[in-house]
Amino acid sequence: MERYELAKNRIMELETEIDGAFGDYIREAAHLFVTIFHVMDGTEYAKQRKEWTENLYEEIAGDNYETSYANPAYCVEKFGEKIGQYLCWFYARFRDSIVAAFEEDEEEVTRCMELFLQVVSVLSLEEETERYLKETIYYDVHDYAEDRIEKNIHDLLCPEETLIYNIVMKSDFSNTDYLYRYGEYITENEIRMAEFLGKMPIEKLLAMASTYTEGYRKGFEIAGIDLTKKKTVQIRYHIGFEPMVRQAVLQFEKMGLKPVFTRKTNTQAVGVVSTSPNKQYQYDHRFDDALYLNHALVQERLKISEKVFESYREEASLYAGPAVIEVFGEKLFSPKVKKESPAYKKEQEELSVSYRRDYSLLQNRYIPQDSYSFTIIAYPIPEIGEDFEDIFEETVKVNTLDMEEYKQIQQHLIDALDLGEKVHVTGRGKNYTDIWIRLHELTEPVKQTNFENCLADVNIPVGEVFTSPKLTGTNGVLHVTQVYLNELRYENLEFSFTDGMVTSYSCSNYEKEEEGRKYIKENILHNRETLPIGEFAIGTNTTAYVMGRKFGIEAKLPILIAEKTGPHFALGDTCYSMSEDVVLHNPDGKEIIAKENECSALRNTDISKAYFNCHTDVTIPYDELGDIIVFTKTGETVTLIRNGRFVLPGTERLNEVLD
């Protein structure tokens, strides 16, 4: 491509021309692109791929990030607030060319190169540098919006023999060099995991893959969705799991499904991911769009997205949903809040919320949530510690517990809960939770139930029983002494509820209470003023809880497992968001009727107020749990749990591993 060669030659010349106040910035960015040129010119040179990858991620890994132009604090220190923020945004944008180079996407690499040269030109101006930098950001976002949206939707819906597909299906797993073909950051986590699974007996790999793919299939069966009408499954996994993923692909193909793989971004670790070189980098850039977000851009994105979805209408109808392999065990992360990072203004907070809502509603028109399913399973990675292999074996056991036994135990809980009008949950010790949950009225108790008997299909492992509470009459305080949500730590996290809506919140992460509230608002409330309780559940997987205690990894367990280790409450949408009208039955034949609340019911009159496009589970662990007591209409009580132990007849078996 002529544009690529022209830009490449100009950047190579820059290395001998650099001077002035911005000289070091330009030099560092040029050095990044020189390595990119090596990748573009020699993607087949296996021996160099490892060196290139290490060079490309070295500057943001560990302490190196402190003096990287990808760090907003450093950039602002060097160039002042506005210019520093803009140049930091550009530097992160230039880094998009890394994965593009390994994908041999010459067009995207060229765009990044041309953008860099544009920035160099602006920095040579003697005046209005700030204004021109801001305009350059906006035009980069605006001019290529359609191309980027089209690529994202295409990659989600169209199965092709991509780089990732070929890595999974054609690599020689006896040698871990294949890991460096991704262009992602590769650590001992990825290398040791690939070695561990590469040596695993094929029978065991097949069994692990089957637990994952069968959970996916059962999800369709339980929801009454015809899987035979679907053709694509989105596989999300952590790099290093390729031996298992290959077997899963083959099993999905027997179901008539072809895989699609999507990449993570600078700020969103969704898709095919590796260990982050620096989670602070991702956190610092989470609101980068605050530098340009406005109403016109939001409307343009929605208009383009609708146009692109319409062009992929057929492919969208064949999409079966995501099948996710999560990992846990990474070093715990407590982010540093930096005043230099871009932050939303009030009107931008509202714009961001409305955009996510409207995009979700738009996507639901083409991929209705009641027409697809999903599954999620989790495994530890080597970073969890010296007991990695033992923890892995325990996790496999947890993921394959006897569903029939749990189905019967959980039915005892549901039968007792269905007698109730409300449920009272309290903490003990340092946990001061005291909350009342209002349940829906069963008009035909013989045929109806409020709680779903959740086994090991869409959410592996077993088990929990959950409902969508009534908001009116749901009041009190939810508190946990410490918890990790979406890889972020919260200490003494507290929410107060009135009629099911958050009225106040706090945590003790920071000296200033206001900073704690801001942390919660940004990362749990997603910049909303309030959220409803979308779910109340009782987790029954005491085996998983004991595993966490045995190895001292409770804080590292993912929500997927942690939510099964005690009662939990979800802030945001219900578990039946946008699929409330699908008729569902428990294994005992009763219809699940509690699938919405006063917020989601607004979908029939004002859908913009019905959904929040988020769902965050907050779990009270058994050792912080006091009692769970069901109150009937007549004032009678049924105790399910007392002092953190199951006491309802038929559930005592769950205590065996606790005692």
| Average pLDDT of the residues in 185-212 | 97
Please report the pLDDT score of residue 47 as a whole number: 73
Which of helix, strand or coil describes residue 506?
Answer: strand
- Among residues 85, 108, 143, the one where a domain terminates is 143
Residues 501 and 648 occupy one common structural domain: yes
Exposed, middle or buried: residue 95 (CB in 10 Å: 0-12, 13-18, 19+)? buried
Lowest pLDDT segment from 27-41, 256-270, 431-445, 594-608: 256-270
Helix or strand (DSSP H, E) at 34? helix 23-41
| Average pLDDT of the residues in 312-328 | 97
Say whether pLDDT at 513 is over 80. Answer: yes
Residues 351 and 486 occupy one common structural domain: no
Please report the pLDDT score of residue 26 as a whole number: 95
- Among residues 376, 394, 421, the one where a domain terminates is 376
Residues 45 and 160 occupy one common structural domain: no
Within-domain flag for 388: no
Residues 214 and 329 occupy one common structural domain: yes
Residues 328 and 237 occupy one common structural domain: yes
pLDDT digits (tens, 9 = 90+) for 525-570: 999 999 999 999 999 999 999 999 999 998 889 888 989 999 999 9
DSSP calls for 584-613: -B-TTS-EE-----TTGGGGGT-GGGT--S
Please report the pLDDT score of residue 555 as a whole number: 86
Please report the pLDDT score of residue 268 as a whole number: 67
Say whether pLDDT at 655 is over 70. Answer: yes
Please report the pLDDT score of residue 20 as a whole number: 76
Helix or strand (DSSP H, E) at 73? helix 72-79
Please report the pLDDT score of residue 266 as a whole number: 64
Long-range contacts of 561-565 (CB under 8 A, 24+ apart): 561/328, 561/378, 561/398, 561/461, 562/617, 562/619, 563/459, 563/464, 563/537, 563/539, 563/617, 563/619, 564/461, 564/462, 564/463, 564/464, 564/539, 564/540, 565/539, 565/541, 565/619, 565/621, 565/622
φ and ψ of 414, to 5 deg? -65, -45
Within-domain flag for 139: yes
Residues 304 and 429 occupy one common structural domain: no
Within-domain flag for 428: yes
| Average pLDDT of the residues in 289-310 | 97
Exposed, middle or buried: residue 66 (CB in 10 Å: 0-12, 13-18, 19+)? exposed
**pTM for this predicted structure:** 0.92
Within-domain flag for 356: yes
pLDDT digits (tens, 9 = 90+) for 44-90: 566 788 899 999 999 999 999 999 999 999 999 999 999 999 999 99
DSSP calls for 105-128: -HHHHHHHHHHHHHHHHHHT-SS-
Residues 6 or more apart whose Cβ sits within 8 Å of residue 259: 159, 165, 168, 232, 233, 234, 235, 249, 252
Exposed, middle or buried: residue 278 (CB in 10 Å: 0-12, 13-18, 19+)? buried
Say whether pLDDT at 249 is over 80. Answer: yes
Structure tokens at 168: 């999974």
Q: By residue range, what is the domain housing residue 212? A: 154-376
Say whether pLDDT at 43 is over 60. Answer: no
- Among residues 143, 176, 198, the one where a domain terminates is 143
Reported residue count of the chain is 659
| Average pLDDT of the residues in 257-276 | 87
Residues 359 and 459 occupy one common structural domain: no
* 365/556 Cα distance (integer angstroms): 37
* 233/255 Cα distance (integer angstroms): 10
How far apart, in Å, do the first and last CA atoms of the chain sit?
68
CB count, 10 Å around CB of 581? Answer: 10
Residues 235 and 285 occupy one common structural domain: yes
